[in-house]
Amino acid sequence: MIKEGVFLGKRYEILGRIGSGGMADVYKGKDHKLNRYVAIKVLKSDYRSDEVFIQKFVSEAQAAAGLMHPNVVNVYDVGQDRGLYYMVMELVEGITLKDYIEKKGKLSAKETISISIQMVTGIQAAHNRHIIHRDIKPQNIIISKEGKVKVTDFGIARATTSTQTISASVMGSVHYTSPEQARGGHVDERSDIYSAGITMYEMITGHVPFDGDSTVTVALKHLQEEIVAPSEEVPDIPYSLECIILKCTQKNPEKRYSNCEELLLDLKRSLVDPDGDFVLTGGAGAVGSDRTVVMSTEEIDRIKNGQYSADDDYDDDDDYDDDYDEDEEYEDDDYDDDDYDEEENGDYDDRRRKQDVNPDTKKIMRILMIVAAVIIAFLILFLVGNAVGIFRGPGLATTKEEEQATVPDLRGMTEDEATKALNDLGLGIKVENERVPSNEYDEGEVVSSDPSAGEKVDLHTQVSVTLSSGEEAQTTKVPNVVGKEESDAEKMLADANLKVAKDSDYSDDVEEGYVISCDPGVGEEVDEESTVKLVISLGSQPAEVPSIEGMSQSDAEAALSNAGLNGNATEEYSDTVEAGVVISQATAAGKEVSKGTTISYTVSKGPEMKVISVPDVTEMDQNAAEKRLQQEGLSASVKQEYNDAPAGQVFYIYPGAGTQVEEGATVEIWISLGPDTSSSETGDEQPPADTGTDDQDGTDTTGDGTDTTAQQ
């Protein structure tokens, strides 16, 4: 396991482990060059010396690196650092489809189809680049918290142009593997389609179609047994969806969908016509008609003798499982499609199966459907043509425009003139009681109307008019009320013989209760008694304190920053909370505070380490020295050297006696081999000189002396 804080490639910081798979561990990391969080897959130490596994790991990166698609977990980088082989991928917060199925028991038809469309779209993106996934299964399908479905883990993917024979190392998980994979035969895009069909089967029923006590048993079932129709367990499954699943899972690849494009077309059509009979199975390829494949003795032996091992490196554990919040809610509504309404399509229990309908009857029904479609098309054409006037003639309906009138310009008219002008257009008049001063219009003439001139209104609408009082309008300038306290601004406007209207808004620059702006603006000349609109500050917009307990310190700071808040971290030891994780926060989550507020929180330093003073074990024999160190909670690294001290006796220790070290640290003990009786240089390792600094990691850095480390 890689420690937090370690950098790979001088760029990617390890923030913590989030999962583990068959070949690799997955860590959450930060790309400091691009300032983003990523997932870092690191090959396990057991396989770093195995060239086959290293090549497989590199091949995964190469296969996925060229895939940049919304329905694929994107690969950003691959590298090696200090013997660690790593791959940098898109970090997806969410839940695996496997966990989602287990959580819900089984999915609805609508949800199954919606997820399948996104899944197959991702697979299609790989196939378009001539890459076969070979391990499609719910564990390798991720549903993000935003509802986006992504295909991941191209660990056994291979280009379709490869001519290598299929071996055990490239087989997918047995419950989802195609018959040709189980047989060790040729694998192409249709193998992924088979696995996708098994995945759809599991979504709609809640379980895989074939199971057994061993991988061999399951593989044989894929080869020899007929799949049970989903409708036997889910009676209300749409007919089209069942046909799609059964076509995907045909044992003969020739009878499956030839490519993902065909499959996607049927899935999308199933959303709008769930009970339609449009899935083309073709002759011998009719759903349910595929013959059982009888395996030869050689083929069975080949599976039993290594083609499918129970110890397969590709287990069903998803690399990201530990990163997903099991408590996160992923409701059916995340995948709703407005075109799919189960209620509109009736009760599936009452639908008839199309294969039971007489062929002649089906022909008649199709003819009737065509005739009905033609009639509907003509009706739509007529309605559209009538709307735009193509078919307009005597006796046809009038348009909305013919029931409306345009308000004339009434300004300058007397009340009687305005009344006649409006009445002639089929409109009424309403004269406002309050008259207004005007420098432009004489007493009794119209100053303005509502609606104003040029606006279209329905017939018989009353138009309000305001008449001139005949007085000259007095003007004034809007005083500088911006930045003034609300009450002061009101008084200044009243003194200027202006009326006040008020609104409010948040402001980070203007104190609460003070004027942010006014309309008309400061200094503008306006009529007296006109209205000036003030915008009053509500102060800084409040921010809601996020819940950061349980987050890493970097995630906590990011969450606070996104909320417009600052963070102040303190550290303390904890036996229950992992180092680097937030233990508590001073301000409760959900509380509203001003933006820019500093939120104090406490970060765990992990368990407090016990400090031990190194005991003096010089002049002891090796066994006694090791036992003494073990009693103190320390371990010994034994080194041997010719010395004048008696053979078998400790003549030197490092760190020296009395040095303060952490519990569990390693102490070097040097055992005398007795005096050197040879006359030539031996080149043996010498005890390190005491420099006054402590190297507590037990690393041999002084020579090639024999290290026989003894661990407690």
Query: pLDDT category, 38, cuts 50, 70, 90?
Result: very high
Tell me what pLDDT residue 515 has.
95
Separation of alpha carbons 222 and 307, rounded Å: 14
Given a cut of 60, whether residue 317 has pLDDT beyond it is no
Torsion, CA 71, CA 77, CA 81, CA 84, rounded to 10: 20
Residues 99, 135, 192, 319: which is the catalytic one?
135
Helix and strand counts by DSSP (H, E) for the chain: 14, 31
Mean pLDDT score, 435-454: 88
Helix (H) or strand (E) holding 669: strand 666-672
The one-letter amino acid code at 689 reads A
Cis ω for the linkage preceding 675 (within 30 of 0): no
497: Cβ contacts below 8 Å, ≥ 6 apart: 474, 476, 528, 529
Separation of alpha carbons 1 and 26, rounded Å: 10
Of the candidate ranges 19-23, 123-127, 475-479, 560-564, the one whose mean pLDDT is the lowest: 19-23
Separation of alpha carbons 377 and 122, rounded Å: 37
Tell me the β-bridge partners of 450. Answer: 464
Mean pLDDT score, 457-482: 87
Q: The tokens of 536 are what? A: 């009053």
Separation of alpha carbons 640 and 620, rounded Å: 14
Mean pLDDT score, 109-133: 92
Mean pLDDT score, 105-119: 95
pTM above 0.85, yes or no: no
Q: Is 696 helix (H, G, I), strand (E, B) or coil?
A: coil
- Do residues 94 and 142 touch, judged by C-beta distance below 8 A? yes
Q: The tokens of 20 are what? A: 């583990």
Separation of alpha carbons 200 and 107, rounded Å: 10
Separation of alpha carbons 89 and 82, rounded Å: 20
Tell me what pLDDT residue 347 has.
40
Given a cut of 50, whether residue 708 has pLDDT beyond it is no
Q: Is 156 helix (H, G, I), strand (E, B) or coil?
A: coil
Separation of alpha carbons 429 and 216, rounded Å: 91
Tell me what pLDDT residue 401 has.
55
228: Cβ contacts below 8 Å, ≥ 6 apart: 209
Q: Considering only residues 163 and 507, tell me which one the structure prediction assigns the higher pLDDT.
A: 507
- Taking only the tens place, the pLDDT of each residue in 558-567 is 999 998 899 9
- Do residues 30 and 38 touch, judged by C-beta distance below 8 A? yes
Query: pLDDT category, 343, cuts 50, 70, 90?
Result: very low
Closest CA to 149 of 105, 87, 77, 199: 199
Q: Which residues of 594-615 are buried (b: 16+ CB within 10 A; e: fewer)?
A: eeebebebbbbeeeeeeebebb
Q: Considering only residues 403 and 651, tell me which one the structure prediction assigns the higher pLDDT.
A: 651
Separation of alpha carbons 243 and 256, rounded Å: 11
Query: pLDDT category, 5, cuts 50, 70, 90?
Result: confident
Q: Considering only residues 491 and 79, tell me which one the structure prediction assigns the higher pLDDT.
A: 491
3-state helix, strand, coil in the chain (%, to 5): 30, 20, 45
Query: pLDDT category, 712, cuts 50, 70, 90?
Result: very low
Closest CA to 429 of 412, 443, 446: 446
Separation of alpha carbons 280 and 265, rounded Å: 12
Tell me what pLDDT residue 509 has.
87
Tell me what pLDDT residue 43 has.
83
Of the candidate ranges 105-109, 548-552, 592-596, the one whose mean pLDDT is the lowest: 592-596
Tell me what pLDDT residue 517 has.
94
- Taking only the tens place, the pLDDT of each residue in 165-219 is 333 333 457 899 999 988 888 889 999 999 999 999 999 999 999 998 888 888 8
- Residue in the block written with tokens 């929180």: 601
Mean pLDDT score, 669-695: 66
Q: The tokens of 291 are what? A: 């013959």
Task: Say how many CA atoms lie within 13 Å of 222 toward its Cβ.
Answer: 31
Q: Considering only residues 257 and 366, tell me which one the structure prediction assigns the higher pLDDT.
A: 257
Query: How many CB atoms are closer than 10 A to CB 215?
Result: 22
Q: What does residue 252 show for φ and ψ, rounded to 5 degrees? A: -85, 115
Given a cut of 80, whether residue 629 has pLDDT beyond it is yes
Tell me what pLDDT residue 327 has.
40
Q: Give the pairing type, strands 131-132 and 94-96.
A: unpaired
Q: Which residues of 338-357 are buried (b: 16+ CB within 10 A; e: fewer)?
A: eebeeeeeeebeeeeeeeee
Q: Give the pairing type, strands 462-467 and 24-31.
A: unpaired
Mean pLDDT score, 36-43: 90
Q: Is 347 helix (H, G, I), strand (E, B) or coil?
A: coil
Separation of alpha carbons 461 and 459, rounded Å: 5
Can 135 be counted among the known catalytic residues? Answer: yes
Given a cut of 70, whether residue 416 has pLDDT beyond it is yes
- Do residues 173 and 133 touch, judged by C-beta distance below 8 A? no
Given a cut of 50, whether residue 42 has pLDDT beyond it is yes
Tell me what pLDDT residue 297 has.
53
Q: What does residue 273 show for φ and ψ, rounded to 5 degrees? A: -140, 70
Closest CA to 205 of 107, 307, 295: 107
Mean pLDDT score, 672-679: 82
Task: State the DSSP code for 466.
Answer: E
Q: Considering only residues 702 and 224, tell me which one the structure prediction assigns the higher pLDDT.
A: 224
Closest CA to 149 of 208, 194, 196: 196
**Rounded CA Rg of the chain:** 40
Closest CA to 325 of 522, 130, 550, 502: 550
Tell me what pLDDT residue 304 has.
53
Separation of alpha carbons 612 and 688, rounded Å: 22
Query: pLDDT category, 688, cuts 50, 70, 90?
Result: low
Query: pLDDT category, 155, cuts 50, 70, 90?
Result: low
Closest CA to 152 of 293, 307, 39, 231: 39
- Residue in the block written with tokens 């044992």: 251
Query: pLDDT category, 513, cuts 50, 70, 90?
Result: very high
Given a cut of 90, whether residue 259 has pLDDT beyond it is yes
Cis ω for the linkage preceding 655 (within 30 of 0): yes
Of the candidate ranges 339-348, 413-422, 641-650, the one whose mean pLDDT is the lowest: 339-348
Given a cut of 80, whether residue 372 has pLDDT beyond it is no
Separation of alpha carbons 52 and 268, rounded Å: 41
Tell me what pLDDT residue 302 has.
56
Q: Considering only residues 325 and 478, tell me which one the structure prediction assigns the higher pLDDT.
A: 478
Q: Which residues of 364-395 are buried (b: 16+ CB within 10 A; e: fewer)?
A: eeeeeeeeeeeeeeeeeeeeeeeeeeeeeeee
Mean pLDDT score, 106-111: 94
User: Sign of the C-alpha dihedral, residues 112, 116, 119, 121?
Assistant: negative
Separation of alpha carbons 258 and 470, rounded Å: 86
Mean pLDDT score, 521-550: 90
What are the residue ranges of helices labelled H in 574-700? 622-631
Tell me what pLDDT residue 75 has.
85
Cis ω for the linkage preceding 451 (within 30 of 0): yes
- Do residues 635 and 618 touch, judged by C-beta distance below 8 A? no
Separation of alpha carbons 233 and 208, rounded Å: 12
Q: Is 527 helix (H, G, I), strand (E, B) or coil?
A: strand
Query: How many CB atoms are closer than 10 A to CB 328?
Result: 14
Mean pLDDT of the chain: 79
